[in-house]
């Protein structure tokens, strides 16, 4: 496969618009193994990586008499997270690998190989799955191949940067409503009500590490998880307990949705929700129905399998595009065959193509030197 010289723009050979909304997609569902949880890590209140389960929380259903739930409560005391980059997010996955070197295999050259074809955050995979239908937002990733494994990180675009700078106070409040809803719905101790008088710290995370295969390609990815469904404390050090973990996702949605909002859900939001949950085997999404003032009046459950039924988008097409993209990216990086080379891939809103350019400067790297040293067998 031909590849570009540094900064030359080339087109990746994928069919970005392989399905049009509302039309029948007559293809078989790609072979996708059930996602297996193999580990975890936490991000603490200072946004530091911790190789433990300190950020984990359990599903708590607020009693009926506690409604309505005020999602504005304590808003003035919210502790917001400092914006991190997609490269920072990838680095957390690499820290997990560093701490769990049983995932690595020595090679004949004494370097180390990871038993995975791709490493990425779940959010990157989900966004890639949505690309056949995306016509409003741009998207950019960088990828590099080291010792046979391809690492992918999201890169912030100018459009995304401008949107963050121009975010209104109301939009910021709506983001915080989601975090407050999570506080109402989860507790660090099973069967124990959460203390919702505490300020919400939006930086704290619990991330699970998953592996699966897509058409024979081995994927390893991390995902921030909202809650665990369990009446008893989980023994996170038991691999069998990890495999059986049942996670739940928390979302907020419009109370008494108008026709316009329902159409938006059917065309856009539902596919993002489905992709996000499908990749980690979540079966249920708990949705807090809130009004425009941030008051949650009810909670409904969405069955993830049902989310994909009778929608204009196709879950088969979404997974098929992810398969095609990863296969073509693998071909490209194998042809380049240079662990110091980075490929930057750009998805423009109204384009039917995916464009890439090859980068070789040190400032363009997405893998830190300490990880490269590890993979050389030097750690």
Residue span of the structural domain in which 216 resides: 10-232+314-375
Give per-residue pLDDT as tens, 131-185: 999 999 999 999 999 999 999 999 999 999 999 899 898 888 999 999 999 999 9
> Does residue 299 fall inside a structural domain?
no
Asked whether residue 159 is assigned to any structural domain, the reply reads: yes
- C-alpha 220/C-alpha 296 separation (Å) is 36
HSE at residue 308, side-chain half, CA atoms within 13 A, is 16
Distance CA 246, CA 37 (A): 10
Mean local confidence (pLDDT), 284-310: 96
User: Considering just the CA atoms, what is the radius of gyration of the chain in Å?
Assistant: 21
Cβ pair 37, 239 in contact under 8 A = no
Tell me the torsion sign for CA atoms 164, 168, 172, 174. negative
3-state SS assignment for residue 112: strand
C-alpha closest to that of 300 among 155, 181, 205, 157: 181
Q: Is the pLDDT of residue 377 over 50?
A: yes
Q: Both ends of the chain: CA-CA distance in Å?
A: 35
Is residue 148 a part of any domain in this protein?
yes
pLDDT at 2 over 60: no
Note the pLDDT tens digit of each residue in 335-376.
999 999 999 999 999 899 999 999 999 999 999 999 999 999
Determine phi and psi for 132, rounding to 5 degrees: -60, -25
Q: Which two tokens stand for residue 272?
A: 């993002």
Residues 28-52: b if buried by 16+ CB within 10 A, e if exposed: eebebeebebbbbbbbeeebebeee
Average pLDDT, the chain: 95
57/301 Cα distance (integer angstroms): 19
Ranges of H-type helices in 84-168? 86-99, 122-130, 158-165
Does residue 277 lie within any of the structural domains?
no
Q: Is residue 270 part of a domain?
A: no
Yes or no: say if 113 and 147 are a contact pair by the CB < 8 Å rule. yes
Q: For the purposes of burial, counting CB atoms within 10 Å of the CB of 188, is it exposed (0-12), middle (13-18) or buried (19 or more)?
A: middle
Q: What is the mean pLDDT of residues 279-306?
A: 97
- List pLDDT tens digits, range 179-231: 999 999 999 999 999 999 999 999 999 999 999 999 999 999 999 999 999 99
Is 285 part of any domain? no
Rounded Cα–Cα distance for residues 5 and 156 (Å) = 23
User: Helices (H) and strands (E) in the chain — how many of each?
Assistant: 10, 19
- DSSP states along 26-73: -SPPP-BPPPEEEEEEEE-TTS-EESSSTT--EE----GGGPSEETTT
Domain count, the chain: 1
pLDDT of residue 257: 78
State residue 1's pLDDT score: 35
User: Is 346 inside a domain boundary?
Assistant: yes
* β-strands 139-146, 149-154 pairing: antiparallel
* Strand order across the beta sheet in which 49-50 lies: 10-12, 354-359, 342-347, 139-146, 149-154, 118-121, 217-224, 205-214, 36-43, 49-50
């Amino acid at each position: 496969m031909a590849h570009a010289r540094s900064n030359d723009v080339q087109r990746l050979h994928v069919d970005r618009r392989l399905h049009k909304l509302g039309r029948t997609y007559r293809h078989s569902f790609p072979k996708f193994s059930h996602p297996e949880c193999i580990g975890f890590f936490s991000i603490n209140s200072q946004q530091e990586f911790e190789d433990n389960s300190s950020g984990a929380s359990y599903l708590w259903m607020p009693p009926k008499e506690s409604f309505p739930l005020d999602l504005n409560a304590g808003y003035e005391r919210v502790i917001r997270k400092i914006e991190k980059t997609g490269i920072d997010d990838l680095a957390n996955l690499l820290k997990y690998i560093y701490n769990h070197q049983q995932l690595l295999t020595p090679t004949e050259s004494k370097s180390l190989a990871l038993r995975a074809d791709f490493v990425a955050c779940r959010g990157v995979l989900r966004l890639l799955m949505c690309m056949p239908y995306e016509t409003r937002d741009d998207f950019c990733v960088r990828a590099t191949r080291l010792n046979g494994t391809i690492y992918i990180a999201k890169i912030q675009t100018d459009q995304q940067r401008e949107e963050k700078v121009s975010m209104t106070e109301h939009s910021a409040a709506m983001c915080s409503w989601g975090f407050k809803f999570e506080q109402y719905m989860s507790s660090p101790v099973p069967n124990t009500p959460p203390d919702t008088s505490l300020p919400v710290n939006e930086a704290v995370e619990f991330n699970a590490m998953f592996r699966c295969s897509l058409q024979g390609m081995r994927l390893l990815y991390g995902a921030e998880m909202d809650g665990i469904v369990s009446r008893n404390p989980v023994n996170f050090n038991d691999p069998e307990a990890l495999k059986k973990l049942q996670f739940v996702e928390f979302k907020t949605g419009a109370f008494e949705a108008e026709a316009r909002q329902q159409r938006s859900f059917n065309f856009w939001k539902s596919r993002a929700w489905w992709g996000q949950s499908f990749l980690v085997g979540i079966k249920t999404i708990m949705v807090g129905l809130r009004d425009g003032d941030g008051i949650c009046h009810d909670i409904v459950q969405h069955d993830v399998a049902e989310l994909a039924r009778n929608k204009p988008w196709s879950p088969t097409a979404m997974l098929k595009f992810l398969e095609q993209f990863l296969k073509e990216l693998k071909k490209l990086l194998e042809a380049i065959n240079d662990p110091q080379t980075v490929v930057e891939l750009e998805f423009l809103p109204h384009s039917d193509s995916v464009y890439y350019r090859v980068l070789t400067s040190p400032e363009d790297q997405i893998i830190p030197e300490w990880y490269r040293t590890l993979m050389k067998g030097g750690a």
